[in-house]
Amino acid sequence: MRYFFFLSLPLYLLDQVTKYLIVANFPNPYVEPARSPIEVIPGFFNIVRVHNTGMAFGKFNGSAYANIAFGIIAISALIAITVLWRKNAFPTRSGKVAAALLVSGILGNFTDRILPGRGYVVDFLDFQFGHWHYPSFNVADSCICIAAALLFLSVFQKERAAEPKAKTGDQAAS
């Protein structure tokens, strides 16, 4: 539970606050003329406002039932993580951190999809490397990607074996 309280909740709140700030300070690019990105590191990192009803890399963006489909997937994933957590399917520390990151990321993007007047995920972190431009993303997306890497790495970690308890004098004599 502490993983969710100390990791999932703060990251979920960070995700929602940053998205709120973007929506409050950038005009809707589909209603008003798009504002130029804010160059944080020229030629490398910008802050933008992008709407995404699809999934990673804008796949299925604008599809008629994308929010419903991805909402069902989000709820199913949260249920699966809860069930797996209770079955101790995340025995390592990195597995537990990954599960907590997944929860914050899934909840962050799911919240965007169901907010009244929204119905899209807000992406705003925009990187480019030379001529290559990486699709915009947000804090929730970052949590999900880091969680995926941690889950991959946790497969190669051994579960901590329960440490044998020291024998007391009575047990040693028997």
Q: Nearest 5°: phi and psi at 124?
A: -150, -15
Q: What angle do CA 12, 36, 104 make, to 5 degrees?
A: 10
What is the share, in percent, of the chain residues with pLDDT greater than 90? 57
Distance CA 69, CA 59 (A): 13
Active site residues: 123, 141
- Comparing CA positions, the residue from 116, 126, 109 lying closest to residue 52 is 109
Contact between 136 and 123 (Cβ < 8 Å): yes
- Comparing CA positions, the residue from 52, 27, 30 lying closest to residue 109 is 52
What is the share, in percent, of the chain residues with pLDDT greater than 70? 84
Per-residue pLDDT of 96-152, as tens digits, reads 999 999 999 999 999 999 988 888 999 999 999 988 988 899 999 999 999 999 999
Neighbours of 172 (CB within 10 A): 8
Residue 32 has pLDDT above 80, yes or no: no
pLDDT for 144 equals 96
Per-residue pLDDT of 57-86, as tens digits, reads 566 666 667 888 889 999 999 999 999 999
Contact between 124 and 86 (Cβ < 8 Å): no
Average pLDDT of every residue of the chain: 86
How do the domains of the chain map onto residue ranges?
2-20+48-158
Strand-pair partners of 59: none
Tell me the whole-structure pTM to 2 decimals: 0.82
pLDDT for 56 equals 66
Say which range, 12-26, 75-89, 154-168, has the weakest mean pLDDT: 154-168
Contact between 7 and 95 (Cβ < 8 Å): no
Q: How far is CA 63 from CA 45, 123, 162, in A?
A: 29, 17, 50
Contacts of 15 (CB under 8 A, 6+ apart): 104, 105, 108, 138, 139, 140, 143
